Amino acid sequence: MNESTSDKLLTSPQNPWVKDLVKLRKDGNERRARGRFFLEGRKGVEAALSSPNARIHELIVCEKYPGADAALVEQARRKNIRIVEVSKDVFKKLADVESPQGLAAVVEIPEWELAQILASPNALVVAACGVQDPGNLGTLIRSCEAAGAAGLVTLEGSADPFNAKVVRATAAGLLSLPLVRLDRGRFLHEANAQGLLLVAAVAREGTPYREFDWSRRPLALCIGSEGEGLPHEVESACTERVSIPLRGSAESLNAAVAASILLFAAQA
pLDDT digits (tens, 9 = 90+) for 48-82: 999 988 999 999 999 999 888 999 999 999 999 99
- CA dihedral 142→146→152→155, nearest 10 degrees, is -40
In the predicted structure, residue 3 carries a pLDDT above the cut 60:
no
pLDDT at position 189 over 60: yes
In percent, how much of the chain has pLDDT > 90? 83
Range with the poorest average pLDDT among 7-16, 33-42, 180-189, 254-263? 7-16
Buried b (16+ CB within 10 A) or exposed e, 146-175: ebebbbbbbbebbbbbbbbbbbbbbbbbbb
Judged by average pLDDT, the poorest of 24-33, 74-83, 224-233 is: 224-233
The mean per-residue pLDDT over the stretch 185-209 comes to 95
> Residue 7 — pLDDT band, cuts 50, 70, 90?
low
What is the DSSP secondary-structure string of the chain? -PPPS-SSPB--TT-HHHHHHHHHHH-HHHHHHHTEEEEESHHHHHHHHH-TT--EEEEEE-TTSTT--HHHHHHHHHTT-EEEEB-HHHHHHH-SSSS--SEEEEEEPP---HHHHHTSTT-EEEEEES---HHHHHHHHHHHHHHT-SEEEE-TTSPPTTSHHHHHHHTHHHHHS-EEE--HHHHHHHHHHTTPEEEEE-SSSSEETTTS-TTSSSEEEEEEBTTTBS-HHHHHH-SEEEE----SS-S---HHHHHHHHHHHHT-
CATH 3.40.1280.10 fits 114-266, yes or no: yes
Dist CA 155 CA 176 (whole Å)? 20
Average pLDDT value for residue range 227-245: 95
User: Which pLDDT does position 101 carry in this prediction?
Assistant: 93
Percent of the chain predicted with pLDDT > 70: 97
**Domain 16-108 matches domain 114-266 at the CATH topology level:** no
Tell me the pLDDT band of 5, cut-offs 50, 70 and 90.
very low
Tell me the per-residue pLDDT of 90-135, one tens digit each, with 9 for 90 and over: 999 999 998 999 999 999 999 999 999 999 889 999 999 999 999 9
pLDDT at 171: 65
Looking at domain 16-108, its CATH architecture is: 2-Layer Sandwich (3.30)
pLDDT at position 1 is: 43
User: Please, what is the average pLDDT of the chain?
Assistant: 92
Give the residue extent of every domain in the chain: 16-108, 114-266
